[in-house]
Amino acid sequence: MSMPLIPREELFGNPEKASSQISPDGKFLSWLAPKDGVLNIWLAPLDNLEDASCITKDALRGIRMYMWAKSSDYLLYMQDSAGDENWHIHAVDPKTGEDRDLTDIDGVNAHIMGLSWNEPDSFLVGLNDRDASWHDVYKINIITGDKELVILNEDEYSGFTFDADYNLKLAEKSLDVEGIKIVYKRVGEGWEEFLRIGHEDQLTTHIYRFDKSGESFYMIDSRENDKAALVLVSLADGSQQLLAQSDKADISDLLMNPTTYELEAWAADYLKPEWHVVSDSVKDDIAILDKEFPGEYSITSRTKADDLWIISVSDAQNPGAAWLYQRGSQTLSKLYSARPDLEKQPLLPMHGIVVTARDGLELPGYLTVPGNSDVSADMKPSSPVPMVLLVHGGPWARDHYGFNGTHQWLANRGYAVLSINFRGSTGFGKAFVNAADGEWSGKMHDDLIDTVDWAVEQGIADKDKVAIMGGSYGGYAALAGLTYTPEVFCCGVDIVGPSNLETLLETIPPYWKAFYEQLARRVGDPRTEQGLQQLKDCSPLHKADKITKPLLIGQGANDPRVKQAEADQIVDAMKANNLPVTYIVYPDEGHGWARPENRLSFNAVTEAFLAANLGGQAEPVGNAFEGSSIDIREGKEGIDGLG
């Protein structure tokens, strides 16, 4: 029995509303919503939400990242050009709608480094206009746009930490030798070494922020543990106080008072986030939220007085809603649903699973099975079904429990969907991360194959109908799947994935220079004969002749991380070997699809591609290309509806 198809538009089009924030003074509510089909910032008085207006005028990519200035007089948002990740920071006056680009310099990657209640009309920003590889730090006055140099980064520091008065207290520098990072503290006009972070801890240890006194700072720290703990470090003598620790996973999230910066709660996320309240000041509030929202919720915005909270609510079968919580009266009122039409659809549960790899490593993951096959409701279909192995990017990232549009889409079409946190994924301790060093196409790929074998043994997946799909590292994994283990997968979907690790490392953005030594140690060092050979051995490009199964490739023309040449190279190799491939390029995208029109068009192609190879249902392509910049360069004839 087939399931009613959930329209792609409801899953991947713009939300009706999203990303709500309350102004620090509590007078206004802001959110993202479409204006003529493009996400913009909307604003309304909190006491009259019907009096809403759109205060930005983006007509191309849509705004995805924004925040209130501490003064409540401006909103700040970030925007790049066609996916190039050269972010500009804009300030919008909510009273007049005046929009000013405060970092109007072509080709510069700007990022906000700090905002403070003590200087509410300014913020700190990193700019790499002087040297593309390193960011100097400036303080920008939001009212006037004036820019004041804070530090000229000629010593090539990779990061800085400031206190609440914008005093520069700490600087970090990654060294070439043995992958060590040194944190220095400011002493007068100079610097002295303060602490060292070894290679094995660099992905699991980082400075979080200073406390209100400016004399101690919070740090997520794995140096003395496998799982990263939360510690408070004294700037005077380096002594540490352990504040929180989990034996299952790294500390993943913190709840801190917005003005005192005191720790109120912390979370660790193994299969699901588990919150632990440590402050009596929020104990009753959290108890109310836990009772009202037993699924997933987060406190996403708070006023300076801390009397009003914005609560974001979602779980695997809830695509998201926003609520206002008034702490004084302990009352909740719903603001909106992000995708109200989708709430009416047959959304499916997500199951947390643990797969044991061949060497005994436990791999946490998430499974969604088609609703019409899960007759026993125990996550196992009544008989094996086609499956999509959905591989996350990074690879130093992770999959999470919660609403996942791709899981819902593919399961609705009749496929089991399995996402696994293979070794190298973050959040599960440093040993788990470091087990992936030098293992691209090796043990990292073995974990994916072991996951497929598990799904087959459990009676979930039809071993002859397993697809592999992913973006970035997940795209690389799809290429590796079809080249290193072509017998396992019946097809693959590669989205902005590298095919040649040599050229990947040669063309990383210049401002990734501080991370280069980490890449070389974890992937392969092209400066050594052994490392260069490792990169060659792990590159799907050099095994393109092994591809025997259908492949779909999607690429953004302006991708600064994985250049279009990565896709071009393997497409050319396949054409030289007379191997069929479908290749799509988006001239107005970068590392993934920001424009909903492009998401919808690529997913329409993907859906037809998977239906042809896995046999599931498919919504017709129809008008899915409308408004998209899709450029189908190869293989149009191989997919129904593209001719």
Q: Which residues are catalytic?
A: 472, 559, 591
DSSP 330-349: TEEEEEEESSTTGGGS----
The DSSP call for residue 316 is T
Biggest alpha carbon–alpha carbon distance for the chain = 73
Distance, in Å, from the CA atom of 281 to the CA atom of 461, rounded to the nearest integer, reads 49
DSSP 467-509: EEEEETHHHHHHHHHHHH-TTT-SEEEEES--S-HHHHHHTS-
Distance, in Å, from the CA atom of 424 to the CA atom of 433, rounded to the nearest integer, reads 4
In this structure, what token pair is assigned to residue 155? 């010593």
Neighbours of 9 (CB within 10 A): 15
Element (H, E) at 86: none
In this structure, what token pair is assigned to residue 376? 């026993």
195 contacts 238 by C-beta, under 8 angstroms: yes
Altogether, the residues listed in the chain come to a count of: 643
In this structure, what token pair is assigned to residue 18? 């999203």
Closest CA relative to residue 629, chosen from 552, 554, 551, 553: 554
CA of residue 439 relative to chain centroid, distance: 22
Amino acid at 169: K
b/e code 333-365 from CB counts within 10 Å (16+ = b): eebbbbbeebeebebbebbebebebeeebebbb
Closest CA relative to residue 307, chosen from 286, 328, 276, 292: 328
Closest CA relative to residue 454, chosen from 356, 553, 330, 312: 356
Distance, in Å, from the CA atom of 271 to the CA atom of 402, rounded to the nearest integer, reads 10
Distance, in Å, from the CA atom of 613 to the CA atom of 599, rounded to the nearest integer, reads 21
Distance, in Å, from the CA atom of 189 to the CA atom of 201, rounded to the nearest integer, reads 29
Distance, in Å, from the CA atom of 495 to the CA atom of 469, rounded to the nearest integer, reads 8
Neighbours of 44 (CB within 10 A): 15
Amino acid at 71: S
474 contacts 454 by C-beta, under 8 angstroms: no
First to last CA, the chain: 30
